[in-house]
Amino acid sequence: MSVLVNKNSKIIVQGFTGKEGTFHAEQMIEYGTNVIGGVTPGKGGSEHLGRPVFNSVKEAVHKAGADTSIIFVPPGFAADAIMEAAEAGIKVIICITEGIPVQDMVKAKAYIEKYDCTLVGPNCPGVITPEEAKVGIMPGFVFKKGRIGVVSKSGTLTYEAADQIVKAGMGISTAIGIGGDPIIGTPTKDAVKLLMEDPETDGIVMIGEIGGNYEAQAARYILATGNKKPVVGFIAGQTAPKGRTMGHAGAIVGGHDDTAEAKMKIMAECGIHVVHSPAEIGITMAKILKG
């Protein structure tokens, strides 16, 4: 079993023939991901990277059985692409696009709630189940198969956490980059819940950052489950000045509870093993699992 994506996922690329879509689709195919085609309106019936191009997501679902989509569509059109995927019957929608207007995402998130689908992102690195499916822009070679799940707001820290876990002699079950925008499809708690319920995940790394309350919600959920799996947590932005956006659109301290210090305190109180540096993630998890 895996979370969200696996070797059997039937993946399409929205924005398939564009520069970004082409580059990352090539990387995904080279990794061994089951990319069955892509969508570019007006280019249906043609072929790209040895895969069929469809005019719409609905056509890709009907003709090829697509169930997962990754979106490389410009910001002004990305929310429409998300809604199109949900309406067509796609079950897992992974939106990489950065810079989508907040108002567009408010509308898109409300719209897809009536459909049976999971949105990851936007402004995220994607999802990877090592040696099965890389649906995103992460460097696949960093991720080795194992039993530690990763949930992260930060793309680069997702890769760093995976590297630390592998160097500590473990590997990754599934890594989920949830994105750092103010409005995202899968908040930290929901991603952690998926891994908590996955029988092939023994421990979880949860990486957050300043701004918002996603980490606190996740921490309280973890406590409510009785801490059935060990969680190692890290919060980025420990030295960030109040009132300034740091890196992500959602990474701004609006009040005391949004600070790294406050989040780390809540996480520790809920039984999460909080580390102060990404370099401590792997060794901390290894010590916990070895008892």
The residue type found at 178 is: I
CA-CA distance, 187 to 13, in Å (whole number)? 23
Nearest partner of 236 among 168, 174, 161, judged by Cα: 161
Q: Clarify whether 248 is annotated catalytic.
A: yes
Q: Report DSSP letters for 87-155, one per residue.
A: HHT-SEEEE------HHHHHHHHHHHTTSS-EEE-SSS-EEEETTTEEEESS-GGG--EEEEEEEES-H
Q: Which of 24, 248, 273, 276 is catalytic?
A: 248
The four Cα atoms 88, 17, 8, 93 give a dihedral, to 10 degrees, of -40
Catalytic residue ranges = 248
